[in-house]
Amino acid sequence: MVGSSLVSEAKAALNRFVLFRSMLSRILAALLGGYLFTNVMSLLLFFLLVDNDLITEQTDEVNIAAIHSVFNSMAAIGLSSFVIYTIAALWVFHTRSASRAWAGMLLPSIVGIGIIYWLLPPAIHELLRG
């Protein structure tokens, strides 16, 4: 009698722990994973919107058209970033499991970082290599 109630209590505690851990994991996935995801996706959007020809032209003169293009695209990603973050957070709390939530945030981010690196103008590549 006593033994079985102890076992069931332990089981309940374990269940609570598993539930708590998966909840905590989701919260972190939404806050941190979602944050990374938003930044990467917004930067990706930036490079798709900005006029690449204007930026890769490396002239000594100040290129006013390029400045406009950069600031316009910046406004666009600024406006969309919070929408991306919110949708990401909702998805994290809806998806089947916490590990799926993490995967959904991290994998696209890694791919996105790769594409951004590929899209960067050559001058920046040189800068990053030191």
Partner 1 sequence: MNNSALKSTKKPNSFRQSMSSLHTWIGLLPSWILYFMFITGTAGYFNTEITQWMQPEIPFAGESASQSEMLASAEQRLKTVGAKADEWYIGFPDGRNQFLRIEWEGHLSDAEKEKLSDEGFTEKEIEEKEEALEGEEKLYPKSGLPIEYADGVTEARETGGGNKLYVMHYALYYLPTTFARYLVIFCTLFMLTALVTGVVVHKKIFKDFFTFRPGKKQRSWLDSHNLFSVLSLPFQFMITYSGLLFFLSNIMPVLAFAPIALIGIDLNDALSAGRVKDMSPKNQELIQIVSEEIFNQSKNVELAGTTAVLTPLTDLLKQMNSARPNKSVRYISVENVYDLNARVEVQLTREVGSGNGNHYVFNGVTGERISKEPVIQGNESSLNAVREADTVMRNLHEGRFAPIILRWLYFFSGLMGAAMIATGTILWSVKRREKAEKKGYNSKGLVLVECLNVAVVVGLPIAVAMYFWANRLIPASFPERANWEVNTMFIVWGLMFAHAALCPRRRVWIDQLWLGAMVCGLLPLLNFFTTDRHLGISLVQGDRLMAGFDLTMLAFGVAFGLTALSMHKRVSGFAVKASPPTNLVEGALVSSSANN
- Contact between residue 56 and residue 122 where contact means Cβ atoms under 8 Å apart: yes
- Contact between residue 81 and residue 38 where contact means Cβ atoms under 8 Å apart: yes
Of 29, 85, 104, 112, the residue at the interface with partner 1 (CB under 8 A) is 85
93 contacts partner 1 (rule: CB under 8 A) = yes
Chain-centroid distance of CA 4 in Å reads 47
What mask of x and - would describe binding to partner 1 in positions 28 to 67, judged by CB under 8 A?
A: -------x--xx--xx--x--xxx--xx------xxxxxx
- Contact between residue 44 and residue 81 where contact means Cβ atoms under 8 Å apart: no
115 contacts partner 1 (rule: CB under 8 A) = no
Vertex 97: Cα angle to 17 and 37 (nearest 5): 115
Q: Which residues bind partner 1 (CB under 8 A)?
A: 8, 11-12, 15, 18-19, 22, 35, 38-39, 42-43, 46, 49-51, 54-55, 62-79, 81-82, 85-86, 89-90, 93-94, 96-97, 121, 124
